[in-house]
Structure formats: C-alpha cells, structure tokens
Structure 1
Amino acid sequence: MTLAFNQRIHKALEERKQSDLLRSVIALERGNQAVFQNNGKWFDNFSSNDYLGLAASDELKLCYQQAVSDYGVGSAASPLVTGYSNQHQSLESALTEWLGYDSALFFSSGFAANQAVVFALLQKGDLLLQDKLNHASLMEAGMLCDAEMKRYRHCNQGHLAQLLQADKPMMAVTESVFSMDGDIADLDGFVSLCKQAGALSMIDDAHGIGVIGEQGNGAVGMTSKRADILVVTFGKAFGLNGAAVLCSREMKDYLTQFARHYVYSTAFSAAHAVAITRAVAMIQTQQWRREMLIELGAIYDETLNGTAGFVATKTPIKPWLVGEESDVLALCAALKREQSWTTAIRPPTVPKGSARLRITLSAAHEAKAVQKLAFNLKRHSEGC
C-alpha cells in the first residue's frame, strides 16, 4: 500500500513540474521587511501583505518585546481553558469599539476563522452563496459543510439578487478587497441585498481592514449598514498574525459553543494580544501610512498606465497580468535579477491563462524602489 501512495505523490509532483506549477518555499534571511537580504543580495520586497509597514516598525517591535517580558511567549491553552487573558479582553474591547460590533472571538488565522464560522452555522438544507473569487478557505468550507453552495459571478449584484430569492435559510459571503485582483466589492449593495432577502451576511475583510475606509476601518467604513459577521485578519495591515470574528453577543455565545477551531485550538499569547491592540491604535492614528500608499500607488500608476499587463486598482494590490505560467516565471526571475522581489501566481490559485505577478505596495517602501520596479516592468513589457 505504501507503494501506491509513493506513486501517487511522485505523479502529482511531476505533473506540477511539467506544467510550471510547482510551488516552493524560500527562507528569507532578514525577515519579511520592505527590504531584505537573501543569499547575500538585497531585494525590494513587493510580495508581502504588510501594507502599512507595521511588521517591522520600531513602535510595534518595542511594544511586543515589553509584552513578552511581562506575559511570556505563549498562552499554553485554548481560550475556554486558561488561554484567554485580560489582554485578550482589552483587544476585544478595542476592536468592537472601533468597528461597531458587540463581540469578537479570536483565531490563529483567517483561514481558521472563515472555516469555523461556515462549519458552525450552516446545516443541511441551508444555502451558502459566495462570490466566485472568494478565498480558498471560504470555498473549501463551502464544499465541506452540509449546506448547498452556489457561487455568484464576481462582484455581480444582479446575479446575487437572483440567488437570494431561494426559500430557505441563506448565508452570503464576500471579501471586501480581493487578494489576487485588488478590486473592492460593492459592500453597501451586498449588505443591503442580504438584509432585504433575510439572509445572513458575512464579509471577509482580510485585505481591506487598515487600508480602506475611514481611519482604516475597512469594510465598516464602506457600508451604511453592518454585515452580520465581519472577519478581520491580523496578518496583513496589522503586521502580525491571527484573526477575529466580529458579531453580536448571541452569535459569539453560539460560536463559543460550536466553532471547533475556537474550542480546540491554543489561543495566541497575551503578549500577542497586546501587540495587536497597539496595532489597532496605530492604524487609527497614523493616517500618514495610508497617505504614503496613495502616493506610491500614483507613482506606479503614472509610469505604467496603458502598458500591457497593467491593472488599475484603488488598493495596494497591483496584479500584473501575464497569462502563461512559463512567461510569468521568466518575468519574476528577471525582476529578481534586478533586485525587485515579486511572486508568480499561477493556477490553481488563479484561472488557467491568467498567471500573474501579485505586486503589493507597502507604506514602508521608498518611492525610488517603486519607480525602479515600474520602469523595469514597462521595459520588459515593451521588449526592451
């Protein structure tokens, strides 16, 4: 039987190699900063989700260091045992006051938070509606849960409205900012349609929180009505890791009983909660970080507008469309030789024929680094 598994594994890996789809992990020497060193060479990092540049900020590092000294490095238990501390409670208060929800639950990742909600809430006979380009965590949860799942055309409110006419318990889910395209959903329209149909609404705000909305409040700043459930992750604009599900008190009580990812996972540490709380304050008060993103985005757009591959977005996510897997790998390698670090995104993450570079801007970038990247993209696109 072992031979059968070995053959299956070998075949799958060979197929990935032959299709230029094999993924690999690269260890970075100096951490995920705006500029890092790898194999003795320096690179401008255009592949991270550290949109506001908090991950390596001195203020957040010093806060975390002091918190580790005060509270240690681990929680050592799940939230329902001894893993939930006064520091977690303070973080919950900061988030709910900022974003206008009654309660919050914390998870180890956005992937865990999304799946916990879907698995805990949906039952056989229910209908789950998802934007076609929702994150893999949501799609997998939809396929594995007991409910029927239907996908509506990307950001197509008309198609969603049609599907919401079903006579059964319904839940609809969208991302605020889509991670591979950098576009923003019509969140006000989404929530309004759900409320009109009596459907539960959920927004995954992973790539919106901290970046869009008033004072960086993400989806909340883009809607006149609150979604029933809001998922925010701390691994992007917050510069850390983990996630929170924001909801009503009764919903929190329900998820505390039935969300297995919450009940059976070790909580992130009290020190981590302190650092996230500081990041919440930094996001609200340090508007200059979002202003810097706007300035850098303007430099990028002005240089590349009209160039083949360029996609205009209002977010720090700047997809550069290439098409074929071999071509995007070649472009990625060429940019690395020029000391700009980008990542090639290929199927199955994106549809066949739409391989791309997922370029991301950070408030920690210098203007000259963005200018250099844009110049080289334009030069390669024009075959110079």
Structure 2
Amino acid sequence: MSGNDGFIASVKKNSVIHVLLAFLFMTSGLIVNALQALTMILWFSGKKDLYRTLNIRLAYLHWALIPFLLEWWADVKVNLYATPEDAKKLNKESAVVVMNHKYDIDWAIGWVTADRCGILGNAKCMAKSALSYVPVIGWAWRFCEYIFVTRNLERDVKTILKALRNLAQFKHHYWMLIFCEGTRFTEEKHKLSMEFAAKKGLKPLKHHLLPRTGGFRMVVKGVRDSAAALYDATIYVKGNRSPTLIDLLCGKSCEADFLFMRVPIEKIPDDDKECSDFVYDLYERKDKYFDFCRNNDRFPVESEDEIQDLKGYELIDYPRRTECLWIAISWAVLILTPLFYYVYTLIVSGAWVKITVMGLILSAVSYLFQKIVAQGAVSTSSSSYGMVKKSD
C-alpha cells in the first residue's frame, strides 16, 4: 500500500468522518422528507401520476447515498450476471425480485443493482409497520407507497392486496423486492428452519432458510396485471466474506456476484400448492448455485462447469453510475459547508459549551443513523423461526 492509499484508508476509518457521513445522510433525508410532504398537495388534488413522479425523483436524491457509500466510498465491486436478452429488459419492465438473505448488506447490493438499472427511485418492498414512523427512511417509504405489514399474514391480507393492486396504476416501471426467507440467515435460524422442513417432508437447504410461500403467493397474485416477470436474484460475496455496514463506513472493499434469472410472470402457477412448490424449487436452485460459489468462488457460468443450468449467462457490463457520486458531493457542499462554518465561528468565539453540545448532537445523529439503516433498510417484515406462528 502506498503512502497516499494508506492516508485515504485512515481517513475512511476515522470516527469523525463517520459522524459527518451520518449527519449528511440524516439531514439530507429530512430535507427530502419535507419536500415529499409538500407533494401531498398533488395527491389530494388528484394528480397522483405527478405526485409519484416527483417522489421517485425525490427519493432517489436521498437513496443514491447508499450506492455512493458502496461503490464510490468503499469501492465495492458488483458483478451482474444474466443472459444478454434478459439484461435488456431489466429497466424496461416491472418485476418481482426475490433475493436471498445471507448478508447484512445484501439489501444494499440490491440497491446498487437497482441503481445501475435506473430503477432505484421506484424500488418497492414490504416492511414492518413500525418502520413507517421512523424518520428519514420510514417516512420516505410511506410517501413512496411502500407496503407496511404487521407480520400477521391473516391480518395483512387486505392491506397487501390493495397496495399491490395499486401498483397497477403506476405509469413508471417498479421492482417489488422480497425476501422469501423472512429474515437474515443465521446458524440458529437455519437449524430451526431445517427442522421444520423435515417435518414437512421438504428437501433441506445448506445455505438458505426455508422460504415462506404464503407472502410470495400473495405478491404474485397482486401484481399479475402489472409485473412482467419474476427476477430470481442470488447474491454471493466472493471469498466467503460477510461484510457489515460498519465495514462499508470504514471503506473496506469487497466483491459481490449478483445472478439475475428472469421468469415470465405467466410461468408462475396460479394454484397455491403448485406456486408453493415453485418457490421451493427456486430456493433449491439458489442453494445449488450458492454451494457451487462456496466451493469455487464464482457462479457456474463457464462452459466446462458440471452445472449446465446457466448456459448463456454472462457478465453484463453495467458500470456504476456517476449520478450518485454527484448527488453525494452536492449534499456535502449544501449541508457540511454551513456546518463547518458554524463550528469555526464557535471555536473562534470560544463557545466551548456550544461546541460540546454540538459534538453530543452529532454523536447522537451517528448512533441513530446506524440504528435506522441497520434495522430499516433490510426491507423485510423479518422474524425468527420458531418464534412466530407460520401461516404457510
């Protein structure tokens, strides 16, 4: 490592820099929330298309900071694998995106991919109802018409189906992101999940939790008239690493492979039993590919591989976008310049009490930032296996 690289790495690990990044994220989010609140005038006046268009743009002004953090700050490399034919459709149709939930940051890698496809501002998901009241992320999701659930499927049926039918009114393409596993993978949850699979006579999975099919069936039923396809998305971080949000803040890089497999929506069965079997088969395939990755550090996309399912899949050239970089720079100039000036005037005037209070406020903002992003941005109504009643 050169001296210059060492200096940059030390800057990225500096806790003061992390506090400033948190302040930038939180403050820009509140500004966007305020602008989104003003657009409600359009909603109540019946101009819903304009309302949605503006909120897609406004949401992206804030959410772009996540791809910036990964791709420009931490220099995370995301490799997108798909067939050339499917790749051409990624930003030209609405779709349900089913992702595996192995890592703390797989949601963020999903956002990077959505950003590269130009659809991040209109990416949707289901989230816990309590998150709708969380400032910055939760408020933005509410303005963007995310689906909020209570984790009780019977109680949430009407809410979910109404929200999904509402998507058919969108004139912009959307991605509905879902984690069928319901919660992030841990060894304890995996053990409980496989015990449940054994009781049901289902094939055990090595690297994933058993998918919960009830929510998937409902989502597909609700979007059949508006979505063109299902994207079976599997993420693998090379080197069998498990990066965290803190790693990204510290500028620690990693490389992730992102496999997109497109299934036309009409090929997903209508029958509940057949649809459930479809999801189980989908996760068995995910598990097979992920197991290959664990042993070979890549997906089986080469002609000599024993697994031939991915014939025709190749690395797609989807470069990182500069828009998120310029948005981050613009927010930094807008927000941090007056902050630095204010702190400078306090130092010059010797107002040490105010400086101390300012430091405490920034530390609190940093703490809230880590809590909000870590808990909110996973974008799922997660729960623990064995802790709640299953409805599948």
Larger strand fraction of residues: 1
Q: With the length of structure 1 as denominator, give the TM-score of the two structures.
A: 0.27
Higher relative contact order (Cα pairs below 8 Å, separated by 6+ residues)? 2
* TM-score normalised per structure 2: 0.27
Which of the two has greater helix per residue?
Answer: 2
